[in-house]
Amino acid sequence: MTHRAIFRDSTTAAIMTCLIILIWVSTARTDEVIRVASIYAFSGMAALSQELSIKGVRSGISEVNSRGGVLGKKLMLIELDNKSSPIGTKVAADRAVKENVVAIIGSAWSSHTLPAAKVAQAAGIPLITNISTLPGITEIGDCIFRVCFTDLFQGRVMAQFARLDLKAATAVVFENLNSDYSMSLSGEFCGNFEKLGGKILLRSTYKDRQEDYSQIIEQALQVHPDVLFIPGYDESGAIINKAHAAGLTAIFLGGDGWDMPDFFIKSAGKATGGYYCTHWSKDMDSESSQNFVNKYYPYSQNDIGTAPAALAYDAVLLLADAIQRAGSADRSAIRQALATAHDFKGVTGTISFRGNGDPNKSAVIMKIVPNSAVMVKSISPE
């Protein structure tokens, strides 16, 4: 054997030894943490609206780790950008699988959460969305959960509030044809309003990025409804602004899609006196809620649009609770622990799951006042 061969063999052995050490150190460090992914829009058209969800997740991770983590390990957050699209969300979810995370938090928009949920279910990774309300999301499989109520519940709540609290006898509904959220919520509101003895005078449709709403507003003016229900997002504010200018005197009603600063900007004060349904208010008096307010609030200067942050915070703490009860960071064990969660005291309310990934929890009715909104009441499931 030559000296060159000996040198080459010894060099190879040294390199292999270093690689083994690096792999061991990397594995050891990985074993010291519990890896959790969050998938939201960090860029693109949805980024601004999902900023509070992102902050809520970070606050939740910070809270858990400040308590010493879970099972003696800190939570390691891996933030993945869905680039404001369903395709981008699938790519991010695939990345989460490769990152070997034990769970996924997100997304916010239902259209984004759907592809992520399909990837998570196929990989056996528990996924918790903070604010995707489309009913079909949890039907994807037993790994999919949410900490928010569904469109079915909030549609029923707003119908009950309109009939029983506001004593409205007639309603007109404006629904967005391009939005599963809008169509689902609209259908539930109409069905329940009529069951309670109310009359739907008109259901008019509009489309994404529509700028002229004069036709549907004119139709509403002709039938003089007691309430106008618009289950949309910030575009609802623009519609209300124009409806008010046209002389419509109905009380404006909406769902949780109104709970964002952009809605209030676009409505320009014309929605004052209206009501919407949401998931949380800083005025809720539970201990968990007040602790959150005192420690992490404000996310904004008033009570507008803060529910996604509180829900995202709840999603992280619910996950930590499940890992603790499971006694393991195994995905399957975590999924089972989530499915059996009962009376978890969250910021946004008490969370229990009953046979699927939809929580049994209350909704909050907010009244719009100048430049803000105030809590009116909380409505619990029957």
* Domain annotation covers residue 26: no
Angle at 193 between CA 189 and CA 196, to 5 degrees: 145
Q: What percent of the chain has pLDDT over 70?
A: 90
pTM: 0.85
The answer to whether residue 7 scores a pLDDT higher than 60 is no
Average pLDDT over residues 224-246: 96
Q: What pLDDT is recorded for position 12?
A: 44
- Best-predicted range by mean pLDDT among 45-54, 178-187, 200-209? 200-209
Q: Which of 251, 278, 305 is the last residue of a domain?
A: 278
Average pLDDT over residues 229-245: 96
The residues, any chain, with a CB within 8 Å of residue 110's CB and separated by 6 or more, are: 132, 133, 134, 137, 180, 181
Number of domains in the chain: 2
142 and 158 together in one domain: no
* Domain annotation covers residue 374: no
* Full residue range of the structural domain in which residue 215 is found: 152-278
pLDDT top residue among 357 and 299? 357
Q: What pLDDT is recorded for position 300?
A: 54
Alpha-carbon span 283 to 297, nearest angstrom: 12
Residue range 36-84, pLDDT digits in tens = 999 999 999 889 889 989 999 999 999 999 999 999 999 999 999 999 9
CB atoms closer than 10 angstroms to residue 378: 17
Average pLDDT over residues 9-13: 44
What's 216's domain CATH number? 3.40.50.2300
175 and 256 together in one domain: yes
Q: What pLDDT is recorded for position 303?
A: 59
Average pLDDT, the chain: 90
Residue range 281-338, pLDDT digits in tens = 988 989 999 899 888 775 555 557 789 999 999 999 999 999 999 999 999 999 999 9
Asked if residues 104 and 41 have their Cβ atoms less than 8 Å apart, the reply is no
- Of the CA atoms within 13 Å of residue 47, those in its CB half-sphere come to 9
196 and 301 together in one domain: no
Q: What pLDDT is recorded for position 17?
A: 38
